[in-house]
Amino acid sequence: MRFAIIIYTDAALLDALPEGQFDAKMRDCLAYADELRQDGQLLDSQMLQGAATAKSLRVRNGRQTVMDGPFAETKEMLAGFNLIEAEDMDEAVRIATHFPWAQTGCVEVRAVQDIEAVRRRVNRSVQQASVTP
């Protein structure tokens, strides 16, 4: 199964780290990611730029609104993600516990939905509707 390990960080907690500790945590995180990638469990990982660089888009009643910043006002901001392969949720959580960012935010583990299965289902419903008299 595929799981997303979603990283949220609190900028105030990151800023409060002693000098050099962020870099040390990042080195450990990258080394762990390299091990997971070598074992075939890490499929992708990316860091996101700061929340201040984000734009949020909404369309309501045909009207588009674009706002600066993230979707929600919160202390913890989405900072990045890791796409992993694991046997089950328990293994995915065990993998996630080794990422240090739970100490300065939150690490969310969520199963990834098979988008190809959804694609087949919705396309099948359209095909069935088009052949029904």
The CATH class, in words, for 2-131 is: alpha beta
Question: Residue 13 pLDDT more than 70?
Answer: yes
Closest CA to 30 of 101, 92, 88: 101
Please work out, in degrees rounded to the nearest 5, the angle formed at the alpha carbon of residue 82 by the alpha carbons of 78 and 87. Answer: 130
pLDDT tens for 29-51 read 999 999 999 999 999 999 998 88
Residue 88 DSSP SS3: coil
Q: Where are the domains of the chain?
A: 2-131
Query: What is the pLDDT, as a whole number, of residue 53?
Result: 85
Torsion sign across C-alpha atoms 25, 31, 32, 34: positive
Q: Where does the pLDDT of residue 58 fall: very low under 50, low under 70, confident under 90, or very high at 90 and above? A: confident
What pTM, to 2 d.p., does this model score?
0.81
